[in-house]
Amino acid sequence: MAVADLIERGQPFATESSVAKLFASEAAVKAANSALQVFGGYGFIDEYPVGKYVRDARVMTLYEGTSQIQKLLVGRALTGVNAF
């Protein structure tokens, strides 16, 4: 179920939002890194926006909880084991 739908229904959404953030940020990093591989050295010069995409994608894994924290939150919700 989509996080926005859960919010609108007034249901808990913390775990689902952690899963969505983790998936989206890691997918963005993977896509940006693949683009950088295609561009090679040109991906690091300002003439092409690929370097900016890599930096922006990497930052998405850090703000509002790092990917590692998101994994811990999802793991706790699924198993009941607190790894903090």
Residues serving a catalytic function are: 64
- SS3 of 23-77: the string is HHHHHHHHHHHHHHHHHHHHHHCCCCCHHHHHHHHHHHCCCCCCHHHHHHHHHHH
